[in-house]
Amino acid sequence: MTIKICPLCAEGHLSQSSYTCNVEYRGVKKDLTFSMHLCNICGGDMACNGDLNHNKTEVVSFRKEVDESLKKPLRGMSPHVLYFDDSSYIEDIKND
Ligand SMILES: [Zn+2]
């Protein structure tokens, strides 16, 4: 196991931690879990490369999920909803 030394105080050891953040994209909100590291001496919190990659993946996949859901037609809607019977309209014209 690799021990990461805190770059802020140069004494403490960093341990993996996470926090939840409510993110909004195109009107859709969701709680995403982001990762970070905490120092046991100074209490500093920071993101290592692995944390940044994880956090970016969380945001990108959430945005893809929202984009895909907005592409789908509304539930219950079908192309037939827009069809209407125009035979009575045609008869009205003939009577004139
Ligand atoms: Zn520290």
- Taking the chain (96 residues) in runs of 10, the rounded mean pLDDT of each run is 88 96 96 97 95 97 95 61 53 56
Sorted by where each starts, the structural domains of the chain and their CATH numbers stand as: 1-69 (3.10.20.860)
pTM (2 d.p.):
0.67
Q: Which two tokens stand for residue 32?
A: 């995403």
pLDDT of the residue at 76: 56
Return the SS3 of 7.
coil
In order, the DSSP letters of 24-85 are EETTEEEEEEEEEEEETTT--EE--HHHHHHHHHHHHHHHHHHHHHHHSPPTT--GGGG---
Distance 46 CA to ligand 1 centre (A): 10
Q: What is the dihedral of CA 25, 27, 33, 35, to 10 degrees?
A: 30
pLDDT of the residue at 30: 97
Distance 31 CA to ligand 1 centre (A): 28
Distance 19 CA to ligand 1 centre (A): 18
Amino acid identity of residue 73, one-letter, is P
pLDDT of the residue at 3: 83
Return the SS3 of 1.
coil
